[in-house]
Amino acid sequence: MTKRDFLPIILGSDENAYGNVRLIQEKYDVVPMLLCKRLLIPTMYSRLFEYRCFADFDKEEVFVPTLLSVLKEKSKEYEKLVVIACSDYYAALMSKNYESFEGLVANAFPSSELLGCFETKDKFYALCDEYGLDYPKTVVCTKEERLSVVNTLPFSFPIVAKPENSNAYEYLHLSFEGKKKVYFLDSKEAYLKVAEALNRVGYTGKMILQEYIEGGDDAMRVINSYSDNEGVVRASCLGQPVLEEYAPYTLGNYAAIITRNESEVYERVQAFLEKIGYRGFSNIDMKYDAKSGRYLMFEINPRLGRSSYFVRTAGINMMEELIERVVYNNCHAPIFGNKRAMWSNVPIGILKKYVKNEELQKEIRELSKNCVFTLRCREDFSLKRYYRISRFYFSHYKNFRRYYFQK
């Protein structure tokens, strides 16, 4: 039997996973495979991929043997297998257990040691210090320090508080009233309410407390990059979020992004990633501090972001960059997004109502006719999918009415 060139194996079933499927099928005649615990709304009723669901797939003792079995099975049919992690947790499992899959996976992931520097904010900011990157004033506290730390903060309220890793298994599986990915707190009393709730449910992880950097959602920047197996940055794209989401379980996720071209940012991020020997996809969040005129680093995620389909609007197909390099060994000079376009995960009506900046409103009106939506795919139309995705998009009207606040 003649083997086919490659099979993309996607870990996860969220917007990121669906966007990656679209990018692959745009360029290649191949049906990707999704491995996940269950299909989430973004991938329900889709005909673009095959999938297998496994109970407890996010547990290491299940993940490793399950993925290994699939890889061994599919290696009989395909010359190369490309594994794409769509969450921090799956990316961490791939880095930690990469040796178990050696020889079966064509693409590289960040080393487990390097990934450890990104998983918690205290280690990440130590790396920023080493390489001269700016970041907000930050205090990291243990469970034992959680209540008392508020009395010795080197900055004043309002503050931003968040778990050391909101995507870690422990925090993801906690349940309590008022749970969020990130907390914007304007007083000591508001912080203590959150800290006490975390204590009640037994959260043992560290908490990150940061000075609040003035500026709305549009002060944020996000850059998605691909670094090849040798650690060379092959593609990057910068975006300016014009609005974030506000529902507690998605707070801080980007609702809409306009692509930007800032050579200084590209050069700085490229130099940083190559100096630390980064391999694979990365997603970097930062915020522009108008007072200092600097970009302050927030975090690096070892995968493309949930909003990463915005990169396609700038003319870059990240899946093509990966596959051409690791499957076909094609190489070119690094490319950087330089086309202005807009991506959204919410209806345009939401943007017109909640984006306050007049200049951005002008851009939104200009770019909205060609706005790209990850989950709207003509080639994947069915009545069931159309109904489910429409409900998902229009539910944002209710969420914004209920949860939106001025930062």
Domains identified in the chain and CATH numbers: 4-110 (3.40.50.720), 137-211 (3.30.1490.20), 217-403 (3.30.470.20)
Residue pLDDT, tens place only, 197-211: 999 999 998 899 999
Residue pLDDT, tens place only, 38-90: 999 999 999 999 999 999 999 999 999 999 999 999 999 999 999 999 998 89
**What's the pLDDT band for 167 if we cut at 50, 70, 90?**
low
* Count of C-beta atoms within a 10 Å radius of residue 341: 18
**What's the pLDDT band for 172 if we cut at 50, 70, 90?**
confident
Residue pLDDT, tens place only, 361-379: 999 999 999 999 999 999 9
Pairing of strands 159-163, 335-336: unpaired
Residue 60's pLDDT is 95
Residue 122's pLDDT is 74
Distance between CA atoms of residues 67 and 80, nearest Å: 15
Residue pLDDT, tens place only, 254-286: 999 999 999 999 999 999 999 999 999 999 999
DSSP-derived letter for residue 4 is: E
Pairing of strands 254-260, 233-244: antiparallel
Asked whether the beta carbons of 216 and 357 are under 8 A apart, the reply is yes
Q: Is 176 exposed, middle or buried (0-12, 13-18, 19+ CB in 10 A)?
A: exposed
Q: At what angle do helices 15-27 and 318-326 cross, to 10 degrees?
A: 60
* Count of C-beta atoms within a 10 Å radius of residue 321: 22
pLDDT exceeds cutoff 80 at 396: yes
Could you tell me the pTM of the whole model?
Answer: 0.90
DSSP-derived letter for residue 328 is: S
